[in-house]
């Protein structure tokens, strides 16, 4: 039996914004190969850096909003049911990350290169949150734990943990390895962990602690004030600590040969693994947007809310569509089946010299998000009108 479900528009709007912006980075990763690295100060340009930098805001907002969504889902379940749901949903996301998203990124059917990104971070964080919920941890307790992780994980940039920092567990949970290192898992297969789990878990825990503010009994004006002040506080923390240049990010900024490059250096914070200043900068802006979009109703916000109401559905489809376009470009540019595999590379359809200019990246990005609007709108309407159990996993 169908039953309409009420959604919180401001959450869907923000999530829609970050989902659309995120696609720019994924198109750039797939189709801007052979061009300068966006964050390399020796070769980047302001527009190239901005193309990368604007997408920094996506993952933190996505993970934080996932924490809020977990709390809202828990309002319809007791603690045992919620913990069980989180364990199953988390495991499902890990399976999708390894089995589907890694393939979409590499187009490698041998799965010799597995990448653990934001879906792994969300799935793993849900499992850890489920463990706390089984121990009857309150949202306040979860939030305190999350904030401690958020604020203190960069202390290991100063205090080296010793031999443990070379272990697989350490790389999976805390240090990651960016895109430079790999964890061998035998027979020519490796795992890359750009998203070290625990810092992102801290973000989800803090989102869960903000969840009670979206209870119907909570005063809306107070909620907006808390969101705004918290966002401004995080931005203040970013600017203060980035200016001091001593804690919160392993890569200090420095004066460059031009003013533009100096500004780029200042904002070129570390995402892999995510630093305190990276999270403060991005979450600060996200919370301000969240506070400003309540009761904001117009054609644009309605479109954004469509994408934001079906984030997992959109995420999987957009990767698939991007890579369909990549393969189409590959053959249309004259490459042959003999060039699908590049010696020494785990990425298929990425021969030396393949790629499109930055203007082409933006054109493909617009094509992707426009093409996916109608499927997202239809699936969003279906989810709102139905309550089948599997819809909680899509």
Q: What is the pLDDT of residue 3?
A: 41
276-292 and 220-244 helices cross at what angle (nearest 10)? 150
Over residues 61-86, the pLDDT tens digits come to 999 999 999 999 999 899 999 999 99
- Does the pLDDT of residue 139 top 90, yes or no? yes
Average pLDDT, the chain: 92
Task: Take residue 157 and report the two structure tokens written for it.
Answer: 């940039």
Over residues 172-226, the pLDDT tens digits come to 888 765 555 678 888 889 999 999 999 999 999 999 999 999 998 999 999 999 9
Q: Which residue has the tokens 């939030």?
A: 143
Over residues 148-173, the pLDDT tens digits come to 999 999 998 777 665 556 678 888 88
Q: Is the dihedral of CA 51, 57, 63, 68 positive or negative?
A: negative
Beta bridge partners of 190: 113, 184
- Residue 233 near residue 268, CB atoms below 8 Å: no
What residue spans define the domains of the chain? 9-393
Residue 8 pLDDT level (bands cut at 50, 70, 90):
confident
Instruction: Let me know how long the chain is.
Output: 394
Task: Take residue 217 and report the two structure tokens written for it.
Answer: 């009994």
- Does the pLDDT of residue 2 top 70, yes or no? no
Q: What is the DSSP string of 165-223?
A: GGSHHHIIIII--TTT--EEEETTEEEE-SS-HHHHHHHHHHHHHHGGGGSTTS-HHHH
Count Cβ atoms below 10 Å from residue 180 Cβ, excluding itself.
9
Over residues 84-113, the pLDDT tens digits come to 999 999 999 999 999 999 999 999 999 999
């Amino acid at each position: 039996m169908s039953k309409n479900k009420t959604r919180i528009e401001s959450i869907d709007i923000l999530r829609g914004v970050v989902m659309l912006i995120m696609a720019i980075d994924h198109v750039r990763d797939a189709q801007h190969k052979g061009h300068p690295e966006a964050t390399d100060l020796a070769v980047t340009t302001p527009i190239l850096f901005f193309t990368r930098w604007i997408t920094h805001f996506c993952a933190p907002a996505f993970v934080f909003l996932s924490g809020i969504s977990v709390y809202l889902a828990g309002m319809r379940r007791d603690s045992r049911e919620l913990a069980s749901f989180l364990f199953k949903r988390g495991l499902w996301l890990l399976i999708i990350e390894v089995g589907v998203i890694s393939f979409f990124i590499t187009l490698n059917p041998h799965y010799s290169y597995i990448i653990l990104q934001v879906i792994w971070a969300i799935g793993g964080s849900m499992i850890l949150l489920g463990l706390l919920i089984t121990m009857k941890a309150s949202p306040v307790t979860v939030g305190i734990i999350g904030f401690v992780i958020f604020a203190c994980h960069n202390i290991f940039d100063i205090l080296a943990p010793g031999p443990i920092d070379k272990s697989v567990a350490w790389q999976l949970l805390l240090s990651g390895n960016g895109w430079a290192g790999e964890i061998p898992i035998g027979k020519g297969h490796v795992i890359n962990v750009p998203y070290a789990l625990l810092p992102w878990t801290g973000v989800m825990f803090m989102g869960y602690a903000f969840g009670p503010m979206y209870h119907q009994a909570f005063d809306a004006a107070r909620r907006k004030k808390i969101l705004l002040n918290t966002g401004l506080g995080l931005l203040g923390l970013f600017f203060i600590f980035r200016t001091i240049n001593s804690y919160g990010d392993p890569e200090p900024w420095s004066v460059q040969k031009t003013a533009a490059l100096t500004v780029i250096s200042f904002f070129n914070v570390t995402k892999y693994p995510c630093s305190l200043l990276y999270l403060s900068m991005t979450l600060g802006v996200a919370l301000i947007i969240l506070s400003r979009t309540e009761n904001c109703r117009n054609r644009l916000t309605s479109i954004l809310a469509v994408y934001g109401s079906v984030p997992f559905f959109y995420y999987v489809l957009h990767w698939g569509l991007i890579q369909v376009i990549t393969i189409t470009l590959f053959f249309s540019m004259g490459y042959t089946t003999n060039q699908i595999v590049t010696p020494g590379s785990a990425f298929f359809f990425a021969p030396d010299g393949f790629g499109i200019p930055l203007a082409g990246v933006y054109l493909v990005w617009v094509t992707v998000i426009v093409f996916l609007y109608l499927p997202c709108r239809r699936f969003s309407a279906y989810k709102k009108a139905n309550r089948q159990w599997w819809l909680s996993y899509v």
